[in-house]
Amino acid sequence: MKQNDLILQTVTKVAAFVILLFAVAIFLGGHYSPGGGFVGGLMTSAAIVLLLLAFDIKTVTGILPIDYKLMIGSGLFISSLTVAGGLVFGVPLMTHVYQYIDLPLLGHISLHTAVLFDLGVYLVVVGVTMTIIQTIGESE
């Protein structure tokens, strides 16, 4: 069945980028405003799902040749490293460190190890959602 998805596809091309950028923004700002790894990850998956709906699985895997199972693994790995990192410095597990610095253009920002942990969460969430959706979608 051939359908004419021209409008959907054109809108998607723009919207997916906006959603992806927004996802990254709420992921990074998570510690200070609503957001974080979990929502950011879900938002990113939503953008990819939108791509999947507008195009088909083959095209999307052509654009984003990502092994989502690997993504799950690396996410878990990053998170557990951050959790265990405290041991190396002789402080309790999951102790976070943060620091405020001033950078040109970006201004007064903070560097926080929590972001590393959140990055792991982000990767796992994207990986999990996309693995499930892709597996079910492919099984036709």
- Residues from 9 through 38 that contact another protein (CB under 8 A): 26, 30-38
Residue 92 within binding range of another protein, rule CB under 8 A: yes
Binding-site size, another protein (CB under 8 A): 56
Distances, alpha carbon 69 to alpha carbons 32, 37, 50, 57, in Å: 30, 18, 20, 16
Contact stretch for another protein (CB under 8 A) within 8-16, 59-67, 76-84, 101-109: 76-84
State the nearest-atom distance from the C-beta of 7 to another protein, in Å. 19
Residue 136 within binding range of another protein, rule CB under 8 A: yes
Positions in the binding site for another protein (CB under 8 A): 26, 30-39, 42-43, 45-46, 49, 53, 69, 72-73, 75-76, 79-80, 83, 86-94, 96, 98, 110, 112, 114, 117-118, 120-121, 124-125, 127-129, 131-133, 135-137, 139-140
